[in-house]
Amino acid sequence: PRPLTAAALSCRRYVAGGQCKSTAKLEGKVAIITGANTGIGKETARDLARRGKVIVACRDIAKAEAAASEIRAETGNQQVIVKKLDLADTKSIREFAEKFLAEEKELHILINNAGVMLCPYSKTADGFEMHLGVNHLGHFLLTFLLLERLKQSAPARIVNVSSLAHHGGRIRFHDLHSEKSYNRGLAYCHSKLANVLFTRELARRLQGKSQRGAEFTANALHPGSVRSELIRHSFVMMWLWKIFSFLLKTPWEGAQTSVYCAVAEELDSVTGQYFSDCQPAYVSPRGRDDETAKKLWSVSCELLGIQWD
């Protein structure tokens, strides 16, 4: 390949975005990362494995084991543990949480990273539209089930991987599962807006709730446009991403803001915020609507059959 010109190099640097500079160690601490067998989830797990214990929570156990053994070999950390979690099935989420709580006495970081994008119309095991079910409701339930353990382990952090796509989203309470009309691009946007609203309302409810006065935070982030398997359902997107791959982040670059939100010391008491490139970013007006956030919270509890006050 030809060497990059100065203009191309500076363009590439711009695309790469911010980097997490924190060298914080997580000795004796436990982190869960959903969907950590590929893409930015795997890179986030690789980074955190250099710092402490990581639970790789994935649907595909074979892929997860391959990723975990690669990370163990590279980091020398044997505390990279694979657990089965299918976010499209509340039974699997409950089983994962039950096993985790029986085996681990502490949880310091929960990174809700897994996601689906541009799926043809389909429903989860519980009848939820797939984007909403996996990207929002699955993580909502997982967080609910692990919340007490996080509180007991404070200081603790919840990190929700959202997207710039939340700007195109709306919470359509009249057709939450897109049964009347479905557009897979918009369905993804709606679910990413739900991530932002969930983070906002969760942070509001968590304030002053941790034990021993330790900080307990929840933040959301946009990882950037990343070369990953997330677009596998769209031939057009795969074709476009091949052509414009120069303008996309690598999975390592895309993981930087997740890592930053999980470990950076300057975020110890920062909560309810939205980040991109390791710095605060603009949230759409719909993402700042507290009434919608509260309503989405109660509707989510209803759909999942839980009481979360």
Residue 88 · residue 130 · CB < 8 Å: yes
Provide the b/e sequence for 129-157 (b: ≥16 CB within 10 Å): bbbbbbbbbbbbbbbbbbbebbbebbbbb
- E strand or H helix at 255: helix 251-263
Amino acid at 284: S
Find the catalytic residue in 14, 121, 188, 260: 188
Q: For 299, list phi and psi in degrees, rounded to 5.
A: -65, -40
**Sheet harboring 80-84: ordered strands across?**
80-84, 52-58, 26-34, 109-112, 156-161, 216-222, 274-276, 279-280
Longest dimension (CA), the chain: 59
Specify whether 282 is catalytic. no
Question: Looking at the annotation, which residues are catalytic?
Answer: 188
